[in-house]
Protein backbone atom coordinates (compact mmCIF):
# COMPACT_ATOMS: atom_id res chain seq x y z
CA UNK A 1 0.00 0.00 0.00
CA UNK A 2 1.92 3.03 -1.29
CA UNK A 3 0.24 6.23 -0.22
CA UNK A 4 -0.21 8.73 -3.02
CA UNK A 5 1.87 11.91 -3.22
CA UNK A 6 0.22 15.33 -2.91
CA UNK A 7 1.11 18.76 -4.22
CA UNK A 8 -1.23 21.44 -2.91
CA UNK A 9 -2.16 22.19 0.69
CA UNK A 10 -5.79 21.35 -0.08
CA UNK A 11 -4.79 17.99 -1.52
CA UNK A 12 -2.52 17.34 1.46
CA UNK A 13 -5.46 17.82 3.81
CA UNK A 14 -7.75 15.45 1.90
CA UNK A 15 -4.95 12.93 1.46
CA UNK A 16 -4.27 13.00 5.20
CA UNK A 17 -7.90 12.14 5.91
CA UNK A 18 -7.76 9.24 3.46
CA UNK A 19 -4.47 8.04 4.98
CA UNK A 20 -5.97 8.10 8.49
CA UNK A 21 -8.99 6.11 7.35
CA UNK A 22 -6.82 3.61 5.49
CA UNK A 23 -4.42 3.28 8.41
CA UNK A 24 -7.24 2.28 10.75
CA UNK A 25 -8.22 -0.55 8.39
CA UNK A 26 -4.73 -1.97 7.86
CA UNK A 27 -2.70 -3.96 10.36
CA UNK A 28 0.38 -2.01 11.52
CA UNK A 29 2.77 -4.74 10.37
CA UNK A 30 1.20 -4.78 6.89
CA UNK A 31 1.55 -1.01 6.60
CA UNK A 32 5.18 -1.24 7.71
CA UNK A 33 5.96 -3.92 5.13
CA UNK A 34 4.17 -1.99 2.38
CA UNK A 35 6.56 0.97 2.67
CA UNK A 36 9.78 -1.03 2.32
CA UNK A 37 11.75 -1.58 -0.87
CA UNK A 38 15.01 -3.18 -1.94
CA UNK A 39 17.89 -0.71 -1.32
CA UNK A 40 19.77 -2.14 -4.31
CA UNK A 41 16.98 -2.17 -6.94
CA UNK A 42 14.54 0.44 -5.61
CA UNK A 43 11.98 -0.38 -8.29
CA UNK A 44 9.00 -0.05 -5.98
CA UNK A 45 8.15 -3.75 -6.03
CA UNK A 46 8.48 -4.19 -2.28
CA UNK A 47 9.87 -7.16 -0.38
CA UNK A 48 8.57 -10.67 0.22
CA UNK A 49 8.78 -12.41 3.64
CA UNK A 50 10.80 -15.62 3.37
CA UNK A 51 12.38 -18.23 5.63
CA UNK A 52 15.67 -20.07 5.19
CA UNK A 53 17.37 -22.38 7.70
CA UNK A 54 14.92 -21.31 10.42
CA UNK A 55 15.80 -17.62 9.95
CA UNK A 56 13.51 -14.86 8.72
CA UNK A 57 14.28 -12.64 5.71
CA UNK A 58 12.68 -10.09 3.41
CA UNK A 59 13.59 -10.90 -0.19
CA UNK A 60 13.64 -8.84 -3.39
CA UNK A 61 11.97 -10.53 -6.35
CA UNK A 62 14.19 -8.60 -8.79
CA UNK A 63 17.74 -9.19 -7.52
CA UNK A 64 16.78 -12.20 -5.33
CA UNK A 65 18.71 -10.88 -2.35
CA UNK A 66 17.44 -12.00 1.05
CA UNK A 67 17.67 -9.25 3.67
CA UNK A 68 17.96 -10.63 7.22
CA UNK A 69 15.76 -9.83 10.21
CA UNK A 70 17.88 -9.64 13.37
CA UNK A 71 16.16 -9.40 16.77
CA UNK A 72 13.04 -8.04 15.04
CA UNK A 73 15.07 -5.36 13.24
CA UNK A 74 14.99 -5.50 9.43
CA UNK A 75 18.53 -5.12 8.07
CA UNK A 76 18.12 -3.31 4.74
CA UNK A 77 21.68 -2.30 4.03
CA UNK A 78 22.81 -2.77 0.39
CA UNK A 79 23.96 -6.33 -0.40
CA UNK A 80 27.65 -5.38 -0.46
CA UNK A 81 27.34 -4.14 3.14
CA UNK A 82 24.99 -6.88 4.35
CA UNK A 83 27.04 -9.98 5.26
CA UNK A 84 24.10 -11.75 6.96
CA UNK A 85 22.09 -11.64 3.76
CA UNK A 86 22.14 -14.17 0.92
CA UNK A 87 20.94 -14.69 -2.62
CA UNK A 88 18.50 -17.41 -3.54
CA UNK A 89 15.29 -18.32 -5.25
CA UNK A 90 12.08 -16.97 -3.77
CA UNK A 91 9.43 -19.37 -2.58
CA UNK A 92 5.88 -18.80 -1.46
CA UNK A 93 5.52 -15.73 0.74
CA UNK A 94 5.65 -16.47 4.46
CA UNK A 95 3.81 -14.64 7.26
CA UNK A 96 5.57 -11.43 8.22
CA UNK A 97 7.24 -12.24 11.56
CA UNK A 98 7.32 -8.78 13.16
CA UNK A 99 4.36 -7.39 15.06
CA UNK A 100 4.04 -4.29 17.16
CA UNK A 101 4.57 -5.04 20.86
CA UNK A 102 3.82 -3.19 24.08
CA UNK A 103 6.33 -0.55 25.23
CA UNK A 104 7.93 -1.14 28.63
CA UNK A 105 11.17 0.88 28.70
CA UNK A 106 12.44 4.22 27.54
CA UNK A 107 15.95 5.40 26.79
CA UNK A 108 17.19 7.07 29.97
CA UNK A 109 18.18 10.21 28.06
CA UNK A 110 14.44 10.88 27.48
CA UNK A 111 14.23 11.56 31.23
CA UNK A 112 16.75 14.39 30.98
CA UNK A 113 15.15 17.84 31.03
CA UNK A 114 16.92 19.28 27.99
CA UNK A 115 16.41 16.18 25.82
CA UNK A 116 12.70 15.76 26.55
CA UNK A 117 12.01 19.51 26.29
CA UNK A 118 13.51 19.58 22.77
CA UNK A 119 11.56 16.48 21.76
CA UNK A 120 8.31 17.93 23.12
CA UNK A 121 8.89 21.34 21.56
CA UNK A 122 9.52 19.73 18.16
CA UNK A 123 6.52 17.40 18.37
CA UNK A 124 4.07 20.10 19.46
CA UNK A 125 5.32 22.66 16.95
CA UNK A 126 4.62 20.44 13.95
CA UNK A 127 1.60 18.48 15.16
CA UNK A 128 3.40 15.15 15.14
CA UNK A 129 0.98 13.85 17.77
CA UNK A 130 -1.85 14.09 15.21
CA UNK A 131 -0.16 11.89 12.60
CA UNK A 132 -1.39 8.25 12.45
CA UNK A 133 1.97 7.11 11.00
CA UNK A 134 5.33 8.68 11.86
CA UNK A 135 8.46 7.62 9.98
CA UNK A 136 11.63 8.70 11.80
CA UNK A 137 14.82 8.85 9.70
CA UNK A 138 17.79 8.81 12.05
CA UNK A 139 15.80 7.48 14.99
CA UNK A 140 18.78 6.39 17.14
CA UNK A 141 17.36 4.53 20.17
CA UNK A 142 13.76 5.32 19.22
CA UNK A 143 13.22 7.80 22.04
CA UNK A 144 10.67 9.73 20.02
CA UNK A 145 8.36 6.70 20.09
CA UNK A 146 7.80 7.26 23.82
CA UNK A 147 6.48 10.77 23.11
CA UNK A 148 3.78 9.50 20.73
CA UNK A 149 0.38 8.11 21.68
CA UNK A 150 0.10 4.28 21.87
CA UNK A 151 -2.17 4.14 18.81
CA UNK A 152 0.31 5.95 16.56
CA UNK A 153 2.43 3.76 14.29
CA UNK A 154 6.14 4.58 14.54
CA UNK A 155 8.74 3.33 12.04
CA UNK A 156 12.38 4.15 12.74
CA UNK A 157 15.41 4.02 10.42
CA UNK A 158 19.00 4.22 11.62
CA UNK A 159 22.46 2.92 10.73
CA UNK A 160 23.32 1.65 14.23
CA UNK A 161 22.05 -1.90 14.76
CA UNK A 162 22.74 -1.75 18.49
CA UNK A 163 20.62 1.39 18.83
CA UNK A 164 17.82 -0.27 16.87
CA UNK A 165 17.92 -3.45 18.94
CA UNK A 166 17.54 -1.33 22.05
CA UNK A 167 14.74 0.67 20.42
CA UNK A 168 12.78 -2.44 19.47
CA UNK A 169 13.13 -4.02 22.92
CA UNK A 170 12.06 -0.80 24.62
CA UNK A 171 9.24 0.54 22.45
CA UNK A 172 7.95 -2.52 20.59
CA UNK A 173 7.63 -0.42 17.40
CA UNK A 174 9.10 -1.08 13.92
CA UNK A 175 12.76 -0.51 13.07
CA UNK A 176 15.02 -0.80 10.03
CA UNK A 177 18.80 -0.67 9.76
CA UNK A 178 19.46 1.45 6.70
CA UNK A 179 21.70 4.05 5.10
CA UNK A 180 19.97 7.44 5.21
CA UNK A 181 21.61 8.31 1.88
CA UNK A 182 19.94 5.29 0.22
CA UNK A 183 16.71 4.62 2.06
CA UNK A 184 14.94 1.30 1.38
CA UNK A 185 11.56 2.99 1.01
CA UNK A 186 9.22 3.32 -1.96
CA UNK A 187 9.11 6.73 -3.62
CA UNK A 188 6.53 9.09 -2.06
CA UNK A 189 5.27 6.25 0.15
CA UNK A 190 5.64 8.06 3.48
CA UNK A 191 2.76 10.34 4.51
CA UNK A 192 4.75 12.09 7.25
CA UNK A 193 8.47 11.96 8.04
CA UNK A 194 10.50 13.37 10.89
CA UNK A 195 14.27 13.67 10.96
CA UNK A 196 15.74 15.07 14.14
CA UNK A 197 19.43 15.96 14.06
CA UNK A 198 20.46 13.42 11.43
CA UNK A 199 21.71 15.37 8.43
CA UNK A 200 24.73 16.76 10.29
CA UNK A 201 25.97 13.18 10.87
CA UNK A 202 26.11 12.31 7.17
CA UNK A 203 29.10 12.52 4.86
CA UNK A 204 26.77 14.15 2.34
CA UNK A 205 23.89 16.02 3.99
CA UNK A 206 22.48 17.09 0.62
CA UNK A 207 22.15 13.45 -0.43
CA UNK A 208 20.28 12.67 2.79
CA UNK A 209 17.91 15.60 2.25
CA UNK A 210 17.24 14.44 -1.31
CA UNK A 211 16.26 11.02 0.01
CA UNK A 212 13.76 12.61 2.38
CA UNK A 213 12.39 14.54 -0.60
CA UNK A 214 12.07 11.29 -2.56
CA UNK A 215 10.21 9.22 0.04
CA UNK A 216 7.99 11.72 1.88
CA UNK A 217 4.84 13.68 1.16
CA UNK A 218 5.55 16.11 3.99
CA UNK A 219 7.27 16.26 7.37
CA UNK A 220 9.65 18.14 9.66
CA UNK A 221 13.44 18.24 9.85
CA UNK A 222 15.50 19.53 12.78
CA UNK A 223 19.22 20.27 12.51
CA UNK A 224 21.83 21.86 14.79
CA UNK A 225 23.10 25.17 13.45
CA UNK A 226 26.07 27.46 13.81
CA UNK A 227 23.72 30.11 15.21
CA UNK A 228 23.58 28.47 18.65
CA UNK A 229 23.60 30.60 21.82
CA UNK A 230 26.80 31.17 23.80
CA UNK A 231 25.47 29.21 26.81
CA UNK A 232 25.00 26.03 24.78
CA UNK A 233 28.67 25.64 23.87
CA UNK A 234 30.91 28.55 24.99
CA UNK A 235 34.07 26.83 23.69
CA UNK A 236 32.98 26.48 20.06
CA UNK A 237 31.04 29.74 20.16
CA UNK A 238 34.40 31.46 20.63
CA UNK A 239 36.44 29.16 18.38
CA UNK A 240 34.26 29.32 15.26
CA UNK A 241 34.57 33.09 15.30
CA UNK A 242 38.30 32.54 14.94
CA UNK A 243 37.98 29.96 12.15
CA UNK A 244 38.54 26.98 14.43
CA UNK A 245 36.47 24.28 16.14
CA UNK A 246 36.77 21.64 18.87
CA UNK A 247 35.32 18.14 18.89
CA UNK A 248 32.94 19.06 21.64
CA UNK A 249 29.35 20.25 22.05
CA UNK A 250 28.03 21.52 18.72
CA UNK A 251 30.88 19.76 16.92
CA UNK A 252 30.73 16.62 19.06
CA UNK A 253 28.48 13.55 18.96
CA UNK A 254 29.87 12.54 15.56
CA UNK A 255 28.68 15.70 13.76
CA UNK A 256 30.23 16.00 10.30
CA UNK A 257 28.59 19.03 8.70
CA UNK A 258 27.11 22.14 10.29
CA UNK A 259 25.60 25.22 8.66
CA UNK A 260 23.98 28.44 9.70
CA UNK A 261 20.18 28.57 9.60
CA UNK A 262 20.45 30.27 6.24
CA UNK A 263 22.84 27.57 5.01
CA UNK A 264 20.52 24.71 6.04
CA UNK A 265 17.58 26.49 4.42
CA UNK A 266 19.51 26.70 1.16
CA UNK A 267 20.54 23.03 1.35
CA UNK A 268 16.96 21.84 1.84
CA UNK A 269 15.77 23.93 -1.07
CA UNK A 270 18.54 22.53 -3.29
CA UNK A 271 17.30 19.06 -2.30
CA UNK A 272 13.92 19.90 -3.83
CA UNK A 273 12.07 20.66 -0.61
CA UNK A 274 9.69 23.56 -0.01
CA UNK A 275 9.86 25.07 3.49
CA UNK A 276 6.36 25.72 4.79
CA UNK A 277 7.41 27.05 8.21
CA UNK A 278 10.42 27.06 10.52
CA UNK A 279 11.34 27.77 14.16
CA UNK A 280 14.10 27.26 16.76
CA UNK A 281 13.98 24.06 18.80
CA UNK A 282 15.51 23.92 22.28
CA UNK A 283 14.89 27.41 23.57
CA UNK A 284 15.50 28.16 27.24
CA UNK A 285 18.16 29.58 29.53
CA UNK A 286 18.40 26.57 31.86
CA UNK A 287 18.04 24.13 28.98
CA UNK A 288 21.06 25.48 27.10
CA UNK A 289 23.20 26.10 30.19
CA UNK A 290 22.78 22.57 31.57
CA UNK A 291 23.67 21.01 28.20
CA UNK A 292 27.31 21.86 28.89
CA UNK A 293 27.25 19.07 31.49
CA UNK A 294 26.23 16.49 28.87
CA UNK A 295 28.78 17.81 26.40
CA UNK A 296 31.51 17.18 28.99
CA UNK A 297 30.32 13.61 29.53
CA UNK A 298 29.43 12.46 26.03
CA UNK A 299 30.01 14.83 23.11
CA UNK A 300 33.66 13.90 22.64
CA UNK A 301 32.94 10.14 22.47
CA UNK A 302 32.35 8.07 19.35
CA UNK A 303 28.65 8.16 18.57
CA UNK A 304 28.26 4.37 18.42
CA UNK A 305 29.82 4.04 21.89
CA UNK A 306 27.38 6.34 23.68
CA UNK A 307 25.55 4.54 26.51
CA UNK A 308 22.13 3.02 25.88
CA UNK A 309 20.33 2.45 29.17
CA UNK A 310 16.67 1.78 29.71
CA UNK A 311 14.43 3.21 32.41
CA UNK A 312 10.92 2.03 33.38
CA UNK A 313 8.31 3.69 31.21
CA UNK A 314 6.34 4.60 34.35
CA UNK A 315 8.99 7.18 35.24
CA UNK A 316 8.42 9.13 32.06
CA UNK A 317 4.93 10.55 32.62
CA UNK A 318 5.56 12.46 35.88
CA UNK A 319 8.93 13.73 34.67
CA UNK A 320 7.44 14.71 31.32
CA UNK A 321 4.70 16.72 33.02
CA UNK A 322 7.26 18.53 35.16
CA UNK A 323 9.46 19.19 32.10
CA UNK A 324 6.60 20.67 30.08
CA UNK A 325 5.67 23.07 32.88
CA UNK A 326 9.29 24.03 33.61
CA UNK A 327 10.12 24.59 29.95
CA UNK A 328 7.09 26.83 29.52
CA UNK A 329 8.79 29.28 31.87
CA UNK A 330 12.39 28.53 30.90
CA UNK A 331 11.76 29.18 27.19
CA UNK A 332 10.76 32.76 28.03
CA UNK A 333 14.18 33.40 29.59
CA UNK A 334 16.03 32.81 26.32
CA UNK A 335 13.46 33.02 23.50
CA UNK A 336 14.41 32.65 19.85
CA UNK A 337 17.88 31.25 20.52
CA UNK A 338 18.66 27.52 20.35
CA UNK A 339 21.13 25.00 19.00
CA UNK A 340 18.62 23.41 16.66
CA UNK A 341 16.36 24.84 14.01
CA UNK A 342 13.42 22.92 12.55
CA UNK A 343 11.79 23.18 9.13
CA UNK A 344 8.34 21.98 8.13
CA UNK A 345 8.85 20.61 4.61
CA UNK A 346 7.12 19.17 1.57
CA UNK A 347 8.31 18.39 -2.00
CA UNK A 348 8.65 21.56 -4.02
CA UNK A 349 7.17 20.08 -7.14
Which pLDDT score, from 0 to 100, does residue 312 have?
Answer: 86
- Tens digits of residue pLDDT in 106-139: 988 899 999 999 999 999 999 999 999 999 999 9
Which pLDDT score, from 0 to 100, does residue 305 have?
Answer: 61
Are 49 and 125 found together in one domain?
A: no
The per-type count for the chain, helices as H runs and strands as E runs, is 9, 14
CA-to-CA dists, residue 251 to 244, 247, 268, 283, 284, angstroms: 11, 5, 21, 19, 20
Are 186 and 226 found together in one domain?
A: yes
| Residue where one domain finishes, among candidates 38, 53, 87 | 87
| Residue where one domain finishes, among candidates 57, 87, 117 | 87
Q: Which helix (H) or strand (E) holds 10?
A: helix 9-25
Which pLDDT score, from 0 to 100, does residue 248 have?
Answer: 83
- Tens digits of residue pLDDT in 317-346: 899 999 999 999 999 998 888 889 999 999
Which pLDDT score, from 0 to 100, does residue 306 have?
Answer: 62
Are 181 and 303 found together in one domain?
A: yes
Output the furthest CA–CA distance in the chain (Å, rounded). 63
Is 288 a member of any domain? Answer: yes
The vertex-83 CA angle with 82 and 88, nearest 5°, equals: 85
Which pLDDT score, from 0 to 100, does residue 24 have?
Answer: 62
Question: Which residues 6+ apart lie within 8 Å of 243 measured at CB?
Answer: none
CA distance 234 to 244: 13
CA distance 117 to 281: 9
CA distance 56 to 128: 32
Are 124 and 236 found together in one domain?
A: yes
Are 246 and 126 found together in one domain?
A: yes
- Tens digits of residue pLDDT in 254-281: 888 899 999 999 999 999 999 999 999 9
Q: Which residues span the domain enclosing 28? A: 9-87
Provide the sign of the torsion angle of the four alpha carbons 90, 97, 194, 110, taken in this order.
negative
CA distance 36 to 221: 21
Provide the sign of the torsion angle of the four alpha carbons 199, 135, 3, 62, taken in this order.
positive
Is 273 a member of any domain? Answer: yes
CA distance 102 to 171: 7
For a pLDDT cut of 90, what percent of the chain falls above it? 70
Nearest-CA neighbor of 174 among 30, 20, 317? 30
Residues 216/193, Cβ–Cβ less than 8 Å: yes
Along the chain (349 residues), what's the average pLDDT of each consecutive run of 10 residues?
Answer: 34 47 77 97 96 96 97 98 96 96 90 93 96 97 93 96 94 97 97 96 95 98 92 88 86 86 97 97 91 76 67 89 95 89 94
Amino acid sequence: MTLAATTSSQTVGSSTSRNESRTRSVRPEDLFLSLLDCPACRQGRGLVPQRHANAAFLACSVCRFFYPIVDDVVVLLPPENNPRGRRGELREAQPFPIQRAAAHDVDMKALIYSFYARMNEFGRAFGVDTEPVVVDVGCSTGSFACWLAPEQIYIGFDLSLESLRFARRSSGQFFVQADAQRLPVKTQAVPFVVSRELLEHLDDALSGAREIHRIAQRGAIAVPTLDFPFLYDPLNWLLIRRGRKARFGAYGYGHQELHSIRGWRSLLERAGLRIRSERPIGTGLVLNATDVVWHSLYSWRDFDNLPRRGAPLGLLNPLAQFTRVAHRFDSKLLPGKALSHAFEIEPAG
